[in-house]
Structure 1
Amino acid sequence: MIRTRPRLAVAALSLLTLIVAGCGGGGHHAKRAQPPPVVLPGVGHGAGANPQGNRPNIVLVLTDDLSWNLVRYMPHVEAMQRHGVTFSQYFVTDSLCCPSRSSIFTGRYPHDTGIFQNAGPDGGFAMFHNRGEESQTFATALQTAGYQTGILGKYLNGYHPADKLGESRPYVAPFWSEWGVAGEAYPEFNYHLNENGHVRKYHQHARDYLTDVIARRGLAFIRRSAAAREPFMIELATFAPHAPYTPAPRNARDFPGLGVPRTPAFNAANTKPPSWLANHVPLGPIRTRVLNRWFRKRAQSVEAVDRMLGLIERTLARTGQSRNTYLVFSSDNGYHMGDHRLLAGKLTAFDTDIRVPLIVTGPHVPAGKFVDKLTENVDLYPTFARLAGSRVPDLVEGRSLVPFLRGRSVRDWRRAVLIEHHGPDVQAADPDFPNVDSANPTSYEALRMPHALYVEYVNGEREYYDLTRDPYELNNTFDALRPLRRLQLRAMLGALEACHDAITCWRAASHIP
């Protein structure tokens, strides 16, 4: 498998410094080349935001392949937006399940987790396990801080509930107090669940619908932890709305006539597209009808997730935990359906695939606030750790979002996020293996800036989209960029690819002209 292109960290950072210093000349730009004193709000050396006192609980509801256009079918999520903070510019490090989830768990980019795909020599659960990453997750930080920790539903691609991995019972990852994890349970029925080391078979009965099972077990965990007066953190990781987009039986007839959204990018051809995108033909009426049916099923499948959120809120209220619990809603990646003439899938650096919801409610969180700062899934680990009063390890590359949850404005923030992808996907057994009419790009790295997207492919192709003029990413204007701007972008991307801890990643992301 193609690895990330080798770059020298010193060379990339030095080149970036020289370019920034040379932009326009003069003393003002020369000063920008000197890194400011490192005072990082949200990048922890030392204790977190709540070192003493009543430690808050954290509930993370993490969906699979949920795109922003599904939120309108989730009234409890919309209520969360009214009562909490919405991070409107929240991105993932890769629009693929396992790399993204690895970044969520560890707070680190794929070039440091080593997880670039769902399986094989550079991805999947086996690689995550063999590299020792399971001892460096946010569960490690929170359990060490005295929290009850739980994960229910999806863990990482390639995890099989019955595998023992040399132990005497089916494997349970370290630092989780409660473990209820399935394997390839995308159909939502007829799956196995590893329940704290004991494997249980679920069948085709309505009660076996996986999202509902996750909900029941999650509510029981909340009630037990509240009764024991122990702080808790639980991740409820649904397989919904991942293909085959199976709704709960009670929702299977909802939204009659609903079709896929027709944005300006729907069935539209890009100008100067990369080679992997260039040969896609317009979607005809048959494929459009297929997309309509699939989108309707996706909307139906998230209804059970939304119901779960309502049950969580009610249980928190009944156990007296509402005012001391942060409820976090997000997805591992987004999803395209018909955009850029692509059928259905992910893997690209387009906003449909990399920009996902992040909505948080909880104590002191301002109601109805939208934060448009660039945030990324590597930020969840340091956020959870600091809320729990735990130290954030220096190797964590994200930044805590706690200041935003307190309603504060943060001037000193990153100016770009990094996306890293290895491709094309050639593993037909991969549940995310793209069909012939969807996206399967070659390896790339990308910078998503506030108003632009820059993509470098391993084959030398480049993309640049001016999102102010072209919000649907249809017109590749890289060829029109000035040579100096091209050099800047390459240096900026190289610096972020070469970062390996909170300080170097912050410096690389902050020195974006």
Structure 2
Amino acid sequence: MSVEHPNILYFVCHDLGRHLGIYDALVQSPHLDAFAHSGTTFTQAYCNSPCCSPSRACAMTGRYAQSTGAIGLSHMGWSLPQSESTITDYLKAGGYETAHAGLAHERLPGENAYEVEMEKEWDDWQAHRAVDHAIKYLESRDRSRPFYLNIGTQQVHDTAWHLADELYGGAVAPEDVHVPLQFPDTKATRCALGKFQAAIRFLDTQFQRLLDALEAHGYADNTIVVFTTDHGMAGLRSKGTLYDHGTETALMLRGPGIPAGKRFSDLIPNIDILPTLLEACNLPVPEQVEGRSFWPLMQGRVYQPNDAIFIERNFHGQSKGGGVPGYEDRYDPVRSIRTRDFHYLLHCKPEANLHQWQVFEIPPEHRGDDSRFFSAWPAFDQPRGEEELYHVAVDPLENFDVAQRPEFREIKQQLKERLLEWMTERQDFALSGDVPERLHAPGWGEFDQLS
């Protein structure tokens, strides 16, 4: 069934990666898995910048982070400029009513100009509160226009793991925890991931409540539902890094015009989401959009797959590391090009962030058995090289850096030249060595006034 102007429900959670049953993680996500089976799942979706705000800005604008200026966390001075149009603006101009519940992290709270804004206080970021508000909106809205409803949740960010007993029905038992292969299997890891996976279970339940409300209020047949996340989960070689475990995203869609039970392995960067939704709504894609629609792929029409995606890291708030207390907005420009078979990373300032970009091997003498998640692995302080190269077709965990091996010299040079060409076209500040200045003072805007 096709709908000329379908409703859009866009659900984006925090820090999930692909940690769901549908992606072969041994976690409790039955509702999301069923949703995926009833729609289309993308198994090779990635963000274009593995930091919360830049990734969301990429998805909302269809543009790279350095193109929009949203190159760090919004509350640390990098909120998406008002001069940048988002899908909210395009759909509003196309006759849609725009509404938001929960967390919108590409800008500061209240700055996205939704017609219906339900983000009013910190607790609204919790999944159950966001879904409550969304359901109330669906119950009472004027049906004279199609809607775009954006829902963001604090779950499953590691700052919400502590709610396991209070909100999630208890942590998953350590013996039942799924430990990703690149994580050390220690007591600290299992205790922390037990809370993480309880948060996934809770998110899964809240998402199903939302789907039930769509059905109950007669919206299920004319609404495209998108479920995704901003980047990979927290942990070793994960969130904030350009390794696959840091940039991988869940991406599932269901609704009119979308085939059921399909899985696509095409490379899908999250700048492609906006043009896809605009095409699904029969609206034009503006010239400044840098992503490409994958709507033809789902429609079974001619589609030119992405042969590579480009990813960037710029600023990210993090602990200072090395036993030094405090938190900082760290500038660490890294660029990468990811093809189906290879992943090349270029560290533009290798000395910038020694403890973030860890080697894979855990020293056998290290004991990470206390209760702190990040003590499960040691603080890494080895100097980084300028380049890394992984043959992901045969090494999907990116265990073996082949950048210095002679048999990969030609492919490394080809990927580097292509990446530098992409950077040059955009006058990338990482090429000049200039450090961008914050767009505005750090802070949470109107939320700074809340207790």
Distance in 2, matches of 1:305 and 1:248, equals 15
Q: Residue 178 of structure 1 aligns to which amino acid in structure 2?
A: V
What is the CA-CA distance between 1:157 and the residue it aligns to?
6.5
Structure 1: 5+ residue runs without aligned partners? 1-49, 162-170, 183-191, 194-201, 203-207, 268-282, 501-513
Residue identity over aligned pairs, in percent, reads 24
Distance in 1, matches of 2:250 and 2:15, equals 11
- Aligned residue for 1:214? 130
What is the 5 A alignment of 1:217-236?
217-225=133-141, 227-236=142-151
Picking from 440, 457, 463, the partner of 2:388 is 463
Distance change in 2, residues 1:477/1:223 (3 Å): same
Distance in 2, matches of 1:401 and 1:247, equals 37
Q: Does 1:266 align with 2:156?
A: no
Distance change in 2, residues 1:150/1:54 (3 Å): same
- Aligned residue for 1:132? 83
Q: Does 1:497 align with 2:428?
A: no
What is the 5 A alignment of 1:29-178?
54-71=4-21, 72-118=27-73, 124-125=78-79, 128-129=80-81, 132-133=83-84, 136-156=85-105, 159=108, 161=109, 171-174=110-113, 176-178=114-116
Picking from 218, 222, 240, the partner of 1:320 is 218
Q: Does 1:414 align with 2:310?
A: no
Q: Residue 118 of structure 2 aligns to which amino acid in structure 1?
A: G
Picking from 225, 228, 243, the partner of 1:350 is 243
Distance in 2, matches of 1:158 and 1:323, equals 31
What is the CA-CA distance between 1:396 and the residue it aligns to?
0.4
Distance in 2, matches of 1:54 and 1:158, equals 30
Distance change in 2, residues 1:218/1:357 (3 Å): same
What is the 5 A alignment of 1:214-293?
214-225=130-141, 227-244=142-159, 245=161, 246-247=163-164, 249-258=166-175, 261-267=178-184, 288-293=186-191
Distance in 2, matches of 1:86 and 1:117, equals 29
Range that drifts further, 450-459 or 299-308: 299-308
Distance in 2, matches of 1:138 and 1:319, equals 25
What is the CA-CA distance between 1:321 and the residue it aligns to?
1.4
Q: Does 1:446 align with 2:400?
A: no
Distance change in 2, residues 1:441/1:463 (3 Å): farther
Distance in 2, matches of 1:382 and 1:181, equals 26
Structure 2: 5+ residue runs without aligned partners? 22-26, 324-329, 351-384, 427-451
Distance in 2, matches of 1:80 and 1:452, equals 31
Picking from 92, 114, 117, the partner of 1:179 is 117
Q: Does 1:392 align with 2:291?
A: no
Report the number of matched residues: 377
- Aligned residue for 1:375? 268
Q: Residue 416 of structure 2 aligns to which amino acid in structure 1?
A: R
- Aligned residue for 1:40? none
Q: Does 1:479 align with 2:430?
A: no
Which secondary structure state, in structure 2, belongs to the residue aligned with residue 489 of structure 1?
A: helix
- The 8 Å contact of residues 87 and 372 in structure 1, kept in 2 or not, is answered as yes
Distance in 1, matches of 2:4 and 2:320, equals 47
Distance in 2, matches of 1:263 and 1:254, equals 17
Distance in 2, matches of 1:254 and 1:231, equals 40
What is the 5 A alignment of 1:8-19?
none
Picking from 259, 268, 273, the partner of 1:366 is 259
Distance in 1, matches of 2:125 and 2:311, equals 34
What is the CA-CA distance between 1:478 and the residue it aligns to?
0.8
Partner deviation per Cα, 1:109-161 (whole Å, 9 max, x = no partner): 1120112211588x522xx23x622xx000011011111111221122672x5
Q: Residue 333 of structure 1 aligns to which amino acid in structure 2?
A: H
What is the CA-CA distance between 1:173 and the residue it aligns to?
2.8
Distance change in 2, residues 1:108/1:120 (3 Å): same
Which secondary structure state, in structure 2, belongs to the residue aligned with residue 370 of structure 1?
A: strand
User: Which one has a bigger Cα radius of gyration?
Assistant: 1
- The 8 Å contact of residues 417 and 448 in structure 1, kept in 2 or not, is answered as yes
Distance in 1, matches of 2:28 and 2:151, equals 19
Partner deviation per Cα, 1:36-85 (whole Å, 9 max, x = no partner): xxxxxxxxxxxxxx8xx641111111000012224442211100121111
Distance in 2, matches of 1:326 and 1:258, equals 38
Partner deviation per Cα, 1:266-295 (whole Å, 9 max, x = no partner): 34xxxxxxxxxxxxxxx8xxxx32221221
Distance in 2, matches of 1:119 and 1:434, equals 19
Bigger relative contact order (CA 8 A; separation at least 6): 1
Which secondary structure state, in structure 2, belongs to the residue aligned with residue 69 of structure 1?
A: coil
**Structure-1-length-normalised TM-score:** 0.68
Distance in 1, matches of 2:179 and 2:193, equals 12
Distance in 1, matches of 2:102 and 2:170, equals 25
What is the CA-CA distance between 1:348 and the residue it aligns to?
1.1
Distance in 2, matches of 1:404 and 1:421, equals 29
Which secondary structure state, in structure 2, belongs to the residue aligned with residue 220 of structure 1?
A: helix
What is the CA-CA distance between 1:261 and the residue it aligns to?
3.5
Distance in 1, matches of 2:194 and 2:320, equals 20
Q: Residue 454 of structure 1 aligns to which amino acid in structure 2?
A: Y
Which secondary structure state, in structure 2, belongs to the residue aligned with residue 386 of structure 1?
A: helix
Q: Residue 223 of structure 2 aligns to which amino acid in structure 1?
A: T
Q: Please, what is the CA RMSD of the aligned residues?
A: 2.7
- The 8 Å contact of residues 44 and 248 in structure 2, kept in 1 or not, is answered as yes
Q: Residue 129 of structure 2 aligns to which amino acid in structure 1?
A: V
Distance change in 2, residues 1:408/1:295 (3 Å): farther
Q: Residue 103 of structure 1 aligns to which amino acid in structure 2?
A: C
Q: Residue 28 of structure 2 aligns to which amino acid in structure 1?
A: Y
